[in-house]
Amino acid sequence: MRKVASSTPLLLTVDASSAEPLFRQIYQGIREGILSGRLRVGERVPSTRLLAGELGVARSTVVLAYEHLVAEGYVTAATSVGSFVADNLPDVSPLPAGVRSITPVPAGPRVVAARVREAERVSLGTPTVRRWPVPFRVGEPALDAFPTAIWETLRRRRARRRPRAMLGYGSHGGFPPLREAIATYLGASRGVRVRAEQVLLVRGAQQAIDLVARTLLDPGCDVWVEDPGYLAVRAAFLTSGARLVPVPVDEEGLDVAVGRALAPHARMAYVAPSNQFPLGVTMSLPRRLALLDWAAHAGAWVVEDDYDSDFRYAGRPITALQGLDTSQRVIYVGTFSKTLFPALRLGYLAVPPDLVDAFDRVQQLADFVSPTVEQAVVADFLSEGHFARHVRRMRALYQERQAALHDTLRRELSGLARADVHESGMHLVAWLDSDADDAAVSRAALDAKVEVPPLSLYCLERRLPPALLMGYAAVPAAQSGRAARLLRGVLERRARARA
Ligand SMILES: Cc1ncc(COP(=O)(O)O)c(C=O)c1O
């Protein structure tokens, strides 16, 4: 870099009566000269002797100022030819000549959107510690039983064959063979009536719901949400500016009559009818029909979150709400997070035909599609029968693990917590004594390295008896006893403290 001799007046003055030390005034004056562009990169700064003479200060004062400038990277260390404005300025690039300096200001408020603050307050609850593995974490599948060898074989095969097209941006809506395979699977196993063009691949159910919110909600419109209900969904609706209308869930699922009374003109209703989160109830047929009837008359959308419907252990498989809809009002959401593994980040939407373009356009605003090669591996996994086999095995395993946890609770937590057997899902709800504080128990349990979120966390307006959620899918039977004893210790200590 060419070093140029300084021809720029420093315009530096010092005030001996100021409380600011002289070296600091010099340091700030030169720094400001650099940041404002008056002193350009590579320009020589005056020698310490010269500047000290000009300013009428001791040379050691200027030396100290220069030492600070050198330490912070504004000026190069002195050599036999002098010191220069550094060419890699530390935090800002030099401004063009004539641009006003950046004057430091006191730190002000760091504003995030009010909707985000509201979403955090209402939706995210207490932070969980993402240690791994933690017994009873809710929503975690049995990663220990995932057929990794088959997966790796399919991956290697795809990687070897990878045609150039798979390295490009990919098709809107996702890898066509996977959209086909999902449409076939949904029709056969969930009664969803959908063509491949209506299936859009996204990065998990959460992104699907975020996309639904962006595409269909306007600020200020009402959305029915289940109370108690899934937290992250509420966050997606709130950050779109929607108003949450908590609708109670009972043993038949979302109470449609209450929803109608509270917000008859809501834009949307969110439900998880196959396995309501967190209570695990299945929405009854009369309620399903009532919900669809309301949506058709109100011109509202119904978001059906079918996140873990493959894990049903008793009774007849229950088909999706979407298959009952004759007015094209249902947006169906599915995910591979529970059936395969969450880190895959692959889910899908099945949308009515007239919404496909709108969803496609909105998806492109935030993201494109998931990596094509991963989608191709999932397509192979489905079409070659591995998926159906894996889901069958997991259904049997989860049923065993649920039974093991149920027994453990009876043995280890009798008198402290009780749970009913669930017909579906991946967690149990363990009810505590009516005077227990489930949030406090949950916090204490986390200290004992057991993750059991409190039911109250998922309630907006409902007041339900205290309970803890206990995921069992990822907990081998042999481990659930030890973890339950840790939880018993917590519950006994709290019961003694209450007595
Ligand atoms: C009710 C419900 N919906 C959606 C999701 C999100 O799943 P994904 O990992 O596909 O974003 C979960 C995850 O646990 C869930 O419990």
Is the CB of residue 277 below 6 angstroms from any atom belonging to ligand 1?
yes
pLDDT of residue 107: 76
pLDDT of residue 307: 95
pLDDT of residue 461: 93
Atom of ligand 1 nearest to the CA of 230: 1
Is the CB of residue 342 below 6 angstroms from any atom belonging to ligand 1?
yes
Give SS3 for 34: helix
DSSP for 383-451, written as a single string: HTTHHHHHHHHHHHHHHHHHHHHHHHHHHHSTTTEEEPPPSBSSEEEEEE-TT--HHHHHHHHHHTT--
Is the CB of residue 370 below 6 angstroms from any atom belonging to ligand 1?
no
Give SS3 for 479: helix
Confidence label for 138 from pLDDT (cuts 50, 70 and 90):
very high
Give 277 Cα–ligand 1 centroid separation in angstroms.
9
Is the CB of residue 469 below 6 angstroms from any atom belonging to ligand 1?
no
Q: Give which of 243, 172, 247 is closest to 202, Cα–Cα.
A: 172
- Residues 66-101 have pLDDT tens digits of 999 998 889 988 888 888 999 877 655 555 556 555
Atom of ligand 1 nearest to the CA of 272: 1
Pairing, β 268-271 against β 301-305: parallel
Q: Percentage of the chain with pLDDT > 90? A: 68
**Entry field: residues in the chain:** 499
Taking residues 159-171, report their average pLDDT.
Answer: 80
Residue 1 scores a pLDDT above 80: no
Kindly provide the residue ranges of all beta strands, DSSP E only, lying in 144-198, ordered along the sequence.
none
pLDDT of residue 100: 57
Give the Cα separation of 220 and 179 in Å (integer). 34
Give 234 Cα–ligand 1 centroid separation in angstroms.
12
- The distance of Cα 257 from the centroid of its chain, to the nearest Å, equals 32
Taking residues 109-131, report their average pLDDT.
Answer: 69
Confidence label for 35 from pLDDT (cuts 50, 70 and 90):
confident
Q: Give which of 306, 331, 368, 345 is closest to 217, Cα–Cα.
A: 331
Confidence label for 466 from pLDDT (cuts 50, 70 and 90):
very high
- The distance of Cα 181 from the centroid of its chain, to the nearest Å, equals 27
Pairing, β 83-84 against β 44-45: antiparallel
- Residues 188-229 have pLDDT tens digits of 999 999 999 999 999 999 999 999 999 999 999 999 999 999
Give the Cα separation of 299 and 346 in Å (integer). 30
pLDDT of residue 2: 37
Backbone angles phi, psi at 296, to 5 degrees: -65, -40
The token pair at 264 is: 């008859």
Pick from 113-117, 143-147, 195-199, 306-310: least confident:
113-117
**pTM higher than the cut 0.85:** no
Out of 270, 304, 337, give the residue to mutate to test ligand 1, the one with the largest number of ligand atoms within 8 Å of its CB: 337
Confidence label for 32 from pLDDT (cuts 50, 70 and 90):
confident
Q: Give which of 153, 151, 177 is closest to 387, Cα–Cα.
A: 151
Give the Cα separation of 301 and 304 in Å (integer). 10
User: Are 342 and 397 within 8 A, CB to CB?
Assistant: no
Backbone angles phi, psi at 134, to 5 degrees: -125, 125
Is the CB of residue 458 below 6 angstroms from any atom belonging to ligand 1?
no
pLDDT of residue 94: 52
The CA-based diameter of the chain, rounded to the nearest angstrom, is 95
Please state, rounded to an integer, the average pLDDT across all residues of the chain. Answer: 90
Supply the residue whose CA is at minimum distance from atom 7 of ligand 1: 205
Alpha carbon distance, N-terminus to C-terminus of the chain:
78
Confidence label for 130 from pLDDT (cuts 50, 70 and 90):
low
Residue 127 scores a pLDDT above 70: no
Residue 256 scores a pLDDT above 60: yes
pLDDT of residue 341: 96
Give SS3 for 372: helix
